[in-house]
């Protein structure tokens, strides 16, 4: 019985955090300082108040780290089955999606997490998608609508599906 109660408390805590993070903090009614405080209260390590409405977190908020000066535009989705680390002074466009869950096969029903690391001064264009296990290096630009399936480590501009280097940094 006590094990069941412990599991129930854990589930209620998770649902409460999800409601606070996605329904309240993600709302257009929450001012940025309050939004930032709710994310921090729920365990995210977000060092910027530049988080605009509509951010949806799928998983434990404690798996998210965002550096100083980073800007998350409206409607972004960050799945947190595994840790996601976003560096300093990054720009995430509207509806950017970062995914961390991976299935080894079609038979495997339980996803495994693969962390995503985004360096400093990275720009992710609107509706760019970053897939599980990817590392994006410093000073990288990902074009709008690109799907990042492999690491983008060298500074430059990456575009396409899948994303590939189209212009090296000057």
Any idea what the Cα angle at residue 71 is, between residues 166 and 27, rounded to 5°?
Answer: 125
* Catalytic residue of the set 103, 150, 153, 164: 103
To the query of whether residue 102 is one of the catalytic residues in this protein, the response is no
3 state SS for the chain: CHHHHHHHHHHHHHHHHHHHHHHHHCCCCCCHHHHHHHHHHCCCEECCCCECCCCEEECCHHHEEECCCCEECCCCEEECCCCEEECCCCEECCCCEECCEECCCCCCCCCEECCEEECCCCEECCCCEECCCCEECCCEEECCCCEECCCECCCEEEECCCCEEEEECC
Catalytic residues: 103
């Amino acid at each position: 019985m006590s094990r069941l109660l412990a599991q129930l408390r854990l589930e209620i805590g998770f649902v409460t955090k999800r409601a606070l993070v996605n329904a309240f903090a993600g709302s257009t009614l929450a001012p940025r300082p309050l939004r930032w405080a709710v994310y921090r209260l729920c365990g995210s390590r977000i060092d910027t108040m530049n988080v605009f409405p509509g951010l949806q977190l799928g998983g434990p908020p404690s798996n998210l780290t965002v550096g100083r000066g980073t800007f998350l535009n409206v409607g972004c989705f960050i799945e947190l089955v595994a840790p996601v680390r976003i560096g300093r002074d990054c720009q995430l466009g509207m509806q950017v999606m970062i995914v961390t869950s991976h299935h080894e096969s079609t038979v495997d029903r339980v996803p495994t997490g693969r962390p995503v690391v985004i360096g400093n001064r990275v720009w992710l264009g609107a509706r760019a998608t970053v897939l599980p296990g990817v590392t994006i290096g410093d000073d990288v630009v990902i074009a709008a609508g690109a799907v990042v399936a492999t690491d983008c480590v060298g500074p430059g501009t990456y575009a396409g599906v899948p994303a590939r280097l189209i212009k090296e940094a000057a």
